[in-house]
Structure 1
Amino acid sequence: MTDFFDGRAYAQEKEEKLKGLVSSLKKKGITLKLVSLIIGDDQSSILYQHLKKKAAERIGAELEIINLKSEAKTETIAQMIRDKNSDKTVHGVMIQLPLPDNFSKDDRNDLIYAIDRNKDVDGLRKDSMFTAPVVRAVFDALGSQDKSLKVAVVGAYGFEGKKITGKFKEMGFKNLFEIGRASSGYETLLRQADIVVSTTGRPSLIKPEMIKKGVVLIDVGSPVGDIAKDCYDKASFVSPVPGGIGPATIANLIENMVEGVK
C-alpha cells in the first residue's frame, strides 16, 4: 500500500498557526507584505502567483503582484527591487522563476542578487537568510530518513535541484546520485535509488520501469508532474502532483516572511 504526502493538509495546518502570529503582529501595527514580480505572461507562473496571493490573504497578510512585460530591461527591474528593499512596509521581495527566454542566466542572477538577503523569503540567493521554501517542503515531506539510503535527484543541476542536492549533502546523505540532462546511464541509477526526487518540469519523465518497488517518490514538477502516475503503485511513499510539494512550498514561503519579522 502506498502512502501519500498531503501538501494541502500540511499547508492548512501551517496557515492556522500563522494566522495567530500575523494577528499578533497587526496588534503591534505591523501588516505583513510580500512583493512578487512576474515578468512575461507564462500562464503557469501567473496561476502560481495567484495561489500565493490567496494563501497570504488567508492568514491576513498582503501580496502585491507586479506584472512586467518580457521586454522590460534588467536594470529597470533591479531598480524596482531595490526600491522595495528600502520600503519598510515591505517584508519580503521575490521574482517568479523561470524568467522569459530573452533573459540570460546573468540577467537572472542580477535580479536575484538585487533582492536584499534579509527580504529574500524565497531563498533565491546563496547567502539568503531563509531556506528556500521548496527545499523545506521536500524535506518535510520526506521526514526522517536513514542517511545510508540511496538518493537520486533528477534535475540536480537546475536552479531548484542544486538547492535540494545541497541540502541532502548538508544532512549527511552519502549515496547521492546527481542526475542532469546530459547524465548517461541515469535509468540504471534510478533503479537503484531508495528515494527519487525529480525537479525537471518534464511531464511524466520517470516511468514505472525506471524505479524499484518500495521506492520513495518526491515529485517537484510543475505544473504537471515529472513522475508518471502509474509509478505510484510501485512506491511505498509518494508526494504527488498536484497536491504535494506545491501547496507546502507556498505555505513555507509565507512562513518565511512571518519568521523574518517575528
Structure 2
Amino acid sequence: MSSPTTLSGTELAAELNTASAVRAAALPFTPTLATVLVGDDPGSAKYVQMKQRRCAQYGLRSRHIHLPPDTTTAELVVALTDLGRDPEVQGILLQHPLPPQIDERAAFDAIPLRKDVDGTSSAAFAAAALGQPGHRSCTPAGIVRLLDHYGAELAGADVVIVGRSAILGKPLAAMLTARDATVTVCHSRTASLAAHTSRADILIAAAGRPGLITTDMIRPGAVVVDAGFTPGDVVPDAAEVASAITPVPGGVGPMTVAMLLSQTVDAAEAVVGTR
C-alpha cells in the first residue's frame, strides 16, 4: 500500500495564522484575547502561555487573568462577566480543565456568545447544532478545516467519532452532521468499539486514551484523525492501513490554536461591521 497522505496541521495552521495577521492589521484597533486561568496547573499554564505567544506573533494582543486555585464559581463568573462588558476585549478564553469546586457549565455560559471565541458555551454549542452564527469550538472547527483542506469528502461519509466531550466529540458531531456526514459517536460505554471504527470512512479519535485505536480497528483506506496528545489515541502503525492520517504532534493541535486566533479576529471584525 502506498504511503498515506499526512494531514499536516502545522502547515495549514501557518497559512491560517498569516491570514489572521493580515486581517488583524487591517482593523482600526488591535484585536484582544483575554485568557483566564484558575489555579496553578503547570500544563494549563503552559497552554495559556503558548496561546499568548501566538497572539503576539500574529499581531493580536492578549490580556491574562490568573485567579487562585480556591476561586469560587461566583467569583469566576464575576471575572468573566466583567470581561464580557469590557469594550477593549473582543475574545475570551477560559482555560480548562477547571478546579473541582467550579461549575464549569456556569463558568463557560458566563462568556457572551459574541466573545466566546473558544466556542465552549451552551449558546455556541446550540449555534453549531442549529447552523446559526457563532464561534465554533476550536478543536472541532480545526478538524473540519483540516479535512476540507485535504479534500476529504464529508457529504455522505460514514464518520465515527470516539469520544463525547462537550468541547470536542459532541460539537464535532453537530458540525459534521451539518455537512451531511452520517455520524456515529462512540464512548466508554460503547459495546464492540471495533465494530464501529472498522466501518468508518473517516475515523476521529478524541478519547484522550493513548493507543486506544489499534491497526485492526481501522478500515483499510480510511481517513484517520488523531485528536489525542503525545502519545496519540491511535497507534503509529495505523499509517500502514490509512489513506490519510494526522501526525501527533503536528496535526490537530496547531489547528486548535489557529482557529482560536482566527475567531478572535472574526469577533473583532464583527465589532466594526466588516463581517
Q: Is TM-score (shorter-chain normalized) higher than 0.5?
A: yes
* Contact 1:155–1:180, Cα closer than 8 Å, also in 2: yes
What is the Cα deviation at residue 148 of structure 1?
A: 2.7
Please give the alpha-carbon distance, in whole angstroms, between the structure 1 residues aligned to 2:71 and 2:8: 38
User: Where does the alignment leave 5 or more consecutive residues of structure 1 unmatched?
Assistant: none
Q: Mean Cα displacement is larger for which, 242-251 or 66-75?
A: 66-75
* Contact 1:157–1:179, Cα closer than 8 Å, also in 2: no
* Contact 2:154–2:176, Cα closer than 8 Å, also in 1: no
- 1:135 matched residue in structure 2: 140
Q: How many residues align?
A: 255
* Contact 2:143–2:252, Cα closer than 8 Å, also in 1: yes
- 2:162 matched residue in structure 1: 154
- 1:120 matched residue in structure 2: 116
How far does the alpha carbon of each residue in 1:181-233 deviate from its partner, in whole angstroms, 9 at most, with x for none? Answer: 11111111111112111111111211112112211111111354211212122
How far does the alpha carbon of each residue in 1:115-159 deviate from its partner, in whole angstroms, 9 at most, with x for none? Answer: 011100111123232112212211112124153332110003543
Please give the alpha-carbon distance, in whole angstroms, between the structure 2 residues aligned to 1:139 and 1:64: 28
Q: Mean Cα displacement is larger for which, 42-51 or 185-194?
A: 42-51
Q: Which amino acid aligns with 1:51?
A: M
- 1:93 matched residue in structure 2: 92
What is the Cα deviation at residue 80 of structure 1?
A: 0.5
Q: Mean Cα displacement is larger for which, 8-17 or 223-232?
A: 223-232
Compared with structure 1, are the counterparts of its residues 221 and 100 closer, same or farther at alpha carbon in structure 2 (3 Å cutoff)?
farther
- 2:53 matched residue in structure 1: 54
Which of 248, 255, 269 is matched with 1:248 structurally? 255
Compared with structure 1, are the counterparts of its residues 19 and 159 closer, same or farther at alpha carbon in structure 2 (3 Å cutoff)?
closer
* Contact 1:157–1:180, Cα closer than 8 Å, also in 2: no
Displaced runs of 4 or more, over 4 A = none
* Contact 1:201–1:223, Cα closer than 8 Å, also in 2: no
Please give the alpha-carbon distance, in whole angstroms, between the structure 2 residues aligned to 1:87 and 1:245: 31
Compared with structure 1, are the counterparts of its residues 87 and 158 closer, same or farther at alpha carbon in structure 2 (3 Å cutoff)?
closer
SS of the aligned residue for 2:225 comes to strand
Q: Which amino acid aligns with 2:14?
A: Q
- 2:179 matched residue in structure 1: 171
What is the Cα deviation at residue 169 of structure 1?
A: 1.4
* Contact 1:196–1:217, Cα closer than 8 Å, also in 2: yes
Describe how 1:182-201 pairs up with structure 2 within 5 A: 182-201=189-208
Please give the alpha-carbon distance, in whole angstroms, between the structure 2 residues aligned to 1:120 and 1:113: 9
Task: Compute the TM-score of the two structures, normalised by the length of structure 2.
Answer: 0.87
Compared with structure 1, are the counterparts of its residues 38 and 209 closer, same or farther at alpha carbon in structure 2 (3 Å cutoff)?
same
How far does the alpha carbon of each residue in 1:48-105 deviate from its partner, in whole angstroms, 9 at most, with x for none? Answer: 21221111111111122222233211110110011111111111112112223343xx
Q: Which amino acid aligns with 2:117?
A: V
Please give the alpha-carbon distance, in whole angstroms, between the structure 2 residues aligned to 1:252 and 1:53: 14
Compared with structure 1, are the counterparts of its residues 217 and 44 closer, same or farther at alpha carbon in structure 2 (3 Å cutoff)?
farther
Please give the alpha-carbon distance, in whole angstroms, between the structure 2 residues aligned to 1:223 and 1:38: 23
* Contact 1:34–1:93, Cα closer than 8 Å, also in 2: yes
User: Where does the alignment leave 5 or more consecutive residues of structure 2 unmatched?
Assistant: 125-133, 270-275
Please give the alpha-carbon distance, in whole angstroms, between the structure 2 residues aligned to 1:64 and 1:80: 13
